[in-house]
Chains A and B, each alone.
Chain A
Amino acid sequence: MAHKKIFLDYNRCIGCKACEVACEMTHGEARIKIFEFPDLFTVPFNCRHCEKAPCLNVCPTGALFRDEDGAVAFNPLSCIGCLMCAVACPFGIPKLDEENKIMDKCDLCADRREEGLLPACVSACPTEALKYGDINEVLWNREGKVVANLKGSAEKGEGEEEAYIIL
């Protein structure tokens, strides 16, 4: 089955933090974060749900598992809070939930997906900087758009100023 992911189309991000707030309202803590840079650039970032997820490989209790949509999901009842997933993750995604003494990470809103809903951050994102779906389908669409833009630019001819941002 095709793996579904959240693709970060960060050029569309305006740093409004709707994703953070939506995540926080769903999970108690925000598992996605907007990183802000001084030049007005903002990047939303969440778990990459890696295809070869190091966290999943090192989890000693099997608390982390791959669910049927391809998300690196998480069973809190099996977690012992050993931090091995955090050690292995190249991004620093899994965080310690100090209160419950277990790890906490994005599960692409398993509960919402079960009801046929989009992950909360994707549902909210007003600019569609967060796109959820079969990842290769998302990427083919993106490729198509970039090519269409290239064609548009070529038709504008030499010397004319570029009117829009190429993704």
Chain B
Amino acid sequence: MEEKLIPVVCPWCSVGCRFYAVSVNGYIRRVEFDYDHPTITNRGKLCPKGVASYQFINSPQRLKKPLKRVGEKGEGKFEEISWEEAYGIITERIKEIKETYGPEAIAFLSSEKITLEENYLIHKLSKAIGTNHLDFPGRYCQYSNSPARTAVFGSSAATNPFEDLAKAEMIVVWGHNPAETAPVLFGQYIEKAIIDNGVEMIVVDPRSTRGHKYASLHLKPYPGTDLAVALAMLNVVINEEIYDKEFVQEKTTGFDKLRESVKDYTPEWAEKISGVSADDIRKAAGLIAGKRTAFLVNEGVNQHINGFNLSLAIADLIAITGNIGKEGVWSGVFPGAQCGFCSAMTGIAPNKLPTGKLVTDEASRAELERLWGFPIPDWVGFDLTTMIREMGNKIRMMYMVAGNIAKSAPNSGWVREQLRKLDFLVVQDIFLTDTAMYADIVLPAAAWFEKTGTAISAERRVQRSYKAAEAPGEAKPDWLIIVELAKELDFGEFFKYSHPDEILREINSVIPVFKGATPEYLAEHLEGCFFPCSEPGEGTKILFKKGFKTADGKAHLQPVEWREPPEIPDSEYPFWLTNFRLVGHWHTLTMSGESPSLEKRWPEEYLMVNPKDARTLGIKTDDLVKVSTRRGSILVRAEVTNHVREGVIAIPNHWDNNFLTLDEIHEKTKMAELKAVAAKVEKVEE
């Protein structure tokens, strides 16, 4: 059998690593490192998930036939049916629900785990059916930093390529642990900047991790209180007049209102709230103002209800210190998944069109109607949490692709109760996920390496990944399922695609920032292009060099105020509970839990607890403990460690963490409280 080296993009995080899937007769035999293309992000390197990344596609648990639920919802009893029957049932139910309740009773969930082309098609199908209830699990990812940066800079995407980290003088890592979540980014860019170039690193995180050992200053706020730290940094930078005066004068608006809004937030005030010493806040603020600083922020910033305020404060700080729009800096959203931008940039949101314009904008709607050939609904749909809240009420049916909200959405117990209330649920995925257990129809999808498609990395690289394996049984690529279903729904004339290249060509003509990312260009340039790539060969490596994406080209500094986390520890629930990720796992374990080399090394969840707290609680490492919040409780083993500060407990977020989190959402961004809740811990006698 001949071995073929098929170039692919890694299917886990958003660093955008490339490698070869060594394909033999439709199976992937192994992974080979790509040392042939020196300009790819990863320079050949891979993390443990990357190396093991083909294991899950060969799992015997893969879905191979369409399934119809025959037992109770959540029970897991299904029977295999044909594709014809599955499409028949779905078509009938969609028509029935549209007639009874109108298309606004139907909601779609797209995914950061499928290709750019597939996100585009799901968006198109939802609009063809007549609903704007459209979102993706990324709602719980970058939807603090993204709207905040859009408000300040007019665009939220990463400003610079990763290589610019080496040219920085300072790297601030805030609520982010790239040594575990993006090891290739850490090893090839951050660690080299620190060890080889003498770049300093400041870390803001309640935990200490292996990546943090290189930091020269580590601020450890209580979870959800780092907003106070950021406000105090603004206060210091403005009061001590160490901001970039020329930059503020020439390139920003709103400075006076910002100064007014933070005038009372002294470091001493912040110390009382966050537990970070006023001296350290002053020191960090001084370093940020005085050095060319890159900001790597992630879920520790995003996944709070006050994460929007925190993201605004950090964006303001970046702006007034002039750390944007030039070489040697870095800031921006950092999607969790290899295709987060594939959803965001095809307008997967309840208020957007794929062109990035708003559904309420009549002219943009009319333009899309002309391109697509059918009417587009003009109302703003529901965000993901509101969809869940309205299940069985305003939302009667959901169509979910490659998302596991029974585990990833806040307050899992509540989510599962809500899932039972739907009249009809279709789940399209590669495994029978916790969410699929509640589906009426489950459709077996081809996995990442089993189809050709486009991915977009955190540094805005648009890259192609090619089919290296055959899907098992009757599983089909997500794009093909959507095309076939659209035909059954009599939308065939709008979905005439027989290959992902044809879909990408339509995207090239509909979404201006991808105009130059043609199938031909990406095939010849495996390293991809940095969007906006307006013509083939023309990418944009550094954003905002000539001004910001706002109407007047200036950064709009936003006044920002303190906002308390929704839950604060009290006598009944005395601990701040937060969560983190492990290098060997990814999100809800759908893929990494089916990867034997990862599963055996990172087998279970555990609770990090400080030795002083452990003494009070009478617990030792490996004791079984019950962790409870007002939503639910889980049983885990304790790990007594100094790497979490006193008063804070932390668990990995891949297992049952979300039974504990809070489904309250921010009124504007719709972000839930996924990172800081009040909890108690009890020892369980065995």
* Interface set of A (CB-CB < 8 Å, partner B): 11-12, 14-18, 20-22, 24-26, 38, 40-42, 117-118, 123-129, 145, 152, 161, 163-165, 167
- Find out whether the CB atom of A12 lies under 8 angstroms from the CB atom of B187: yes
User: Which of A24, A42, A125, A165 contacts B214 (CB under 8 A)?
Assistant: A165
B180 in contact (CB, < 8 A): yes
Segment of B27-35, B342-350, B432-440, B512-520 engaged in the interface with chain A: B27-35
Give the CA-CA distance A18 to B194 in the complex, in Å. Answer: 21
Q: Is B305 an interface residue (CB 8 A)?
A: no
Task: List residues of chain B with CB under 8 Å of any chain A CB.
Answer: 30-33, 35, 42, 44-48, 50-52, 179-180, 183-184, 186-188, 191-192, 194-196, 198-200, 208-214, 216, 583-584, 597-598, 601, 641, 643
Decide: B195 and A124 in contact? CB cutoff 8 A. Answer: no
Chain A to chain B contacts (Cβ below 8 Å), 16 pairs: A14-B179, A14-B186, A14-B187, A15-B210, A21-B601, A25-B597, A38-B641, A40-B208, A40-B209, A117-B33, A124-B50, A126-B183, A126-B186, A127-B183, A161-B216, A167-B195
Nearest chain-B residue to A23 (Cβ)?
B51
Q: Are B52 and A25 in contact (CB under 8 A)?
A: yes
Asked, given contacts A21-B48, A123-B35, A163-B216, whether A152 binds B198 with beta carbons under 8 Å apart, the answer is yes
Contact B45 A25, beta carbon cutoff 8 Å = no
CB pair B48–A14 under 8 Å, yes or no, is no
B44, B52, B183, B601: residue with the most chain A Cβ atoms closer than 10 Å? B183
With beta carbons under 8 angstroms apart, the residue of A14, A22, A38 that contacts B183 is: A14
Q: Which residues of A contact B598 (CB under 8 A)?
A: 21
CA distance A11 to B583 in the complex (A): 18
A24 touches B200 (CB 8 A): no
Question: Are B195 and A40 in contact, with the CB atoms below 8 A?
Answer: no
Report the minimum CB–CB distance from A111 to chain B (whole Å): 11
Given contacts A14-B210, A40-B213, A128-B187, contact A25 B30 (CB under 8 A): yes
A12 and B183: CB pair below 8 A? no
Known: A17-B48, A18-B48. A127 touches B186 (CB 8 A): yes
Q: What is the CA–CA distance of A126 and B210 in the complex, to the nearest angstrom?
A: 14
A16-B597 in contact (CB<8A)? no
Closest Cβ–Cβ distance, residue B8 to chain A (whole Å):
15
Q: Known contacts A22-B51, A118-B35, A127-B191; can you find 16 more A-B pairs with CB under 8 A?
A: A12-B195, A16-B583, A18-B50, A21-B51, A22-B46, A25-B30, A40-B213, A123-B45, A124-B45, A124-B47, A124-B50, A126-B45, A126-B46, A163-B198, A164-B195, A164-B198
- The reply to whether A163 and B200 form a contact with Cβ atoms under 8 Å apart is yes
A105 to B48, CA, bound (A): 21
Per DSSP, are chain A's interface residues mostly helix, strand or loop, or mixed?
Answer: loop
Expressed in whole angstroms, the minimum distance between the Cβ of A108 and any Cβ of chain B is: 16
**Chain A contacts for B33, CB-based, 8 A:** 117-118, 123-124
Please give, as numbers and ranges, the residues of chain A lying within 8 Å of B208 by CB-CB distance: 40
Q: Which residues does chain A contribute within 8 Å of B45, judged by CB atoms? A: 18, 123-126, 128
Q: Which of A123, A163, A164 contacts B44 (CB 8 A)?
A: A123
**Min CB distance, B593 to chain A, in Å?**
15
Closest to B190 in A: A127
Q: Which residue of B lies closest to A156 (CB)?
A: B198
Expressed in whole angstroms, the Cα–Cα distance for A118 and B45 within the complex equals: 12
Closest Cβ neighbor of A9 among chain B residues: B195
Chain B residues in 8 Å Cβ range of A128: 45, 187, 192
Complex alpha-carbon distance, A40 and B641, angstroms:
11
Verify A20–B35 contact, CB threshold 8 A: no
CA of A118 to CA of B556, assembled, Å: 50
Smallest Cβ-Cβ distance to B583: which chain A residue: A16
Q: A16 contacts B601, CB within 8 Å?
A: no
**CB pair A42 B210 closer than 8 Å:** yes
Kindly provide the distance from the CB of B162 to the nearest chain A CB, expressed in whole angstroms.
13
Minimal Cβ-Cβ distance residue in B for A125: B45
**How distant is A37 from chain B, measured CB to nearest CB, in Å?**
11
